[in-house]
Chain A
Amino acid sequence: MRARYLPVAAFAGIIIAIQLTTHFTESAYHLTQLTMTAYYSLLVVGLCMLTGYAGQISIGHAGFFAIGGYLSAFLTTHNLVPHQGTAFVSLLKKAGLLAARPDLYGGEILNVHPWAACLAAILATVIIAYLIGGPVLKLKGHYLAMATLGFGVIIYRIALGTTLLGAADGISDVPGFPLASGVEITGKASMRVPNYYAAWGLVIAGMVLLLNLIHSRVGRALASIHGAEDAAEAMGIPAARYKLHTFVLSAVFASLAGVFLTHYNGGIGPSEASVMKSVRYVAIVAIGGMANLWGALSMSLVLNYFSLRGYFGSYDDAVFGAILILIMLFAPDGLLRRHLFDDMKRMFSGDADQEAP
């Protein structure tokens, strides 16, 4: 057992403890928001990998979330019965990629199977992320922020303006996502507990992958690019390619989050693609300590949960904007940064003047 997996076990323990607490206090309804929190957290840890470890900002990740969510929502709700005669649809049907279900009036509708839709959404995300990331990641700092912001706005306007995607109403009646026999990702109250565990299980799996990556040869290369890009290149590291791969990886995390949350909520609306969502994700990564996956994850857990429970009321977006401003002003390394405890020790032992290591 490597040291890096100990926090994973501890985190899994916390997830179980939360579920048991809601079980014994008969407040299982909390699990709904906690499940949604899990999916947002999947996006956040992916973004943390990009921002904190590869050193690239993105204010457009809600766009990738929306690409995943909208594509799977569209494919799993768009009725293919009228097109049944076409060769393409019958080919899909033969390949077992379609699923039939009864509609409200007793008729039958034919959709793309959620698994196939999910794969299509991920594939589309990978292609779009490569196409966008290739040119955009040549930019640095503010310019990169602007460009990714532009991407986010474009996706938002497309979602809002396309009738086929439900325009301002978004897409509803998205079916559940079958996982195993009898278990599916859906908002039904009877499936609350398995959904809670499935969602957080996905987050934990994602964390394990990212932690492994950070401690690998590639992780070391990313850290070196973040620290001194020219020196990294001189060591034979193709910086542009590594940044692009990390961008695509984090886009896939965002897209997967979009796919599953859409199935869980039974729909998706354009607000999921809004710029304020992207800003919120960046704010969570920032307060979590930028290059600190655990910090980002724990902050995501707390803040998303509070937000979804409505604790921030109508000031929801303002809270995240304020967090971003305060963090940038007073703790640009984030609240949960790596040397926090060393710094605190120094502060209390009286030699606070000393420069931080």
Chain B
Amino acid sequence: MTLLSVREVSKRFGGLQAVGGVSFDVARGSIKALIGPNGAGKTTLFNLISGFLPPDSGGIVFEGTPVQGMQPFEIAALGMSRTFQHIRLFPKMTVLENVMVGRHLHGRAGFLAGMLNLPFTWSEERRIREKSLEILELLGIADSARVEATSLAYGQQRVVELGRALACEPKLLLLDEPAAGLNMRETLEMGKLIGKVRNMGITVLLVEHDMSLVMTVSDEVVVLCYGEKIAEDLPLAIQKNPEVIRVYLGEVQ
């Protein structure tokens, strides 16, 4: 069962073909990794999928709905949430509040209901708070709930961002370099958390440089180079793929 289907997607920035005709599918319940050398177009592809950039051509179909050209918030409402390569937590808000923003789509109190503090918003707020605490509990950062999120250690901030994305209860979770800047122990922890996410029934698409993480968590790997897909296979096969070895390590003369 395909959850996300990327079809011949291209994006050009001036003279640079950032993504050129890339196609792949993400099966429901799987973990797929996008790897490639720096500048391969991985983050651009993520931005195209999540609506932060419109593709020049090609189609992106999420659960049967074509989403290319839709706004990020519309795509999020369909059940896709993401994290950012450079952590984008909300400053001046606590860890709990950050995660509560992730519950936005699961509430319906608008401007008028908020201003008038209508009774239905009370229980809604309580549910948002409880669910958010539950997620913090699950990720093991409930102790930091009342701490200002941006004051946490870097590794912890990554976990908060993951929690915020999980709070959306997405069908598809896009993780942009979840282990960037993490030490070995934290990377290992992140790998375990990603496994937990899969066990919750959430499909994961991740961009990652840390090969040990990619090889342990992912079911399938897509390799990009200069904006083009050069390989798509199981992790073990990717490790032996001569083309992949060539782009990563350079040619043997």
- Residues in chain A within 8 A of chain B (CB atoms): 209-210, 212-213, 216-221, 223-224, 227-228, 230-239, 245, 249, 357
Contacts and interface: CB of A to CB of B under 8 A. Distances in A.
Range of interface residues on B (Cβ < 8 Å): 35 or more
Report the 10 A-B pairs with minimum CB-CB distance, sorted nearest first: A216-B114, A236-B76, A227-B90, A231-B88, A233-B72, A236-B105, A212-B117, A209-B115, A218-B114, A228-B88
Interface in B77-124: 77, 81-82, 84, 88-93, 97-98, 100-102, 104-105, 107, 109-111, 113-117, 121, 124
A245 B111 contact: yes
Contacts of B42: none
Interface of B: 50, 52, 71-73, 76-77, 81-82, 84, 88-93, 97-98, 100-102, 104-105, 107, 109-111, 113-117, 121, 124-125, 128, 148, 151, 164-165, 168
Query: At the interface, is chain B mostly helix, strand, loop or mixed?
Result: helix
Nearest to A291: B92
A227 B111 contact: no
A357 B101 contact: no
Contacts of A239: 73
Given A217-B114, A218-B114, A235 B88 contact: no
A220 B72 CA distance: 18
A223 B114 contact: no
A350 B90 CA distance: 30
B101 A235 contact: yes
A216 B109 contact: yes
Contacts of A212: 114-117
Nearest to A233: B72
A223 to B, nearest CB: 6
Given A209-B115, A233-B76, A236-B73, A218 B101 contact: no
Contacts of B100: 220
Contacts of B90: 223-224, 227-228, 231-232
A234 B78 CA distance: 11
30 contacts: A209-B116, A210-B115, A212-B115, A212-B116, A216-B109, A216-B114, A216-B125, A217-B104, A217-B125, A218-B109, A218-B111, A221-B101, A223-B90, A223-B97, A224-B98, A227-B89, A228-B88, A228-B90, A230-B84, A231-B84, A233-B73, A234-B52, A234-B76, A235-B168, A236-B73, A237-B73, A237-B101, A238-B71, A239-B73, A357-B148
A218 B107 CA distance: 10
Contact of B72 (A217, A224, A230): A230
Contacts of A235: 73, 76, 81, 101-102, 104-105, 164, 168
Given A216-B114, A236-B73, 17 more contacts: A209-B115, A213-B111, A216-B109, A217-B114, A217-B124, A218-B109, A227-B89, A228-B90, A228-B91, A230-B52, A231-B89, A233-B73, A235-B76, A235-B104, A236-B104, A237-B101, A238-B73
A249 B110 CA distance: 13
Contacts of A210: 115
Contacts of A213: 111, 114-115
A97 B193 CA distance: 65
Contacts of B89: 227-228, 231
A224 B115 contact: no
Given A234-B72, A235-B164, A223 B92 contact: yes
Nearest to B147: A357
A245 B72 CA distance: 19
A216 B73 contact: no
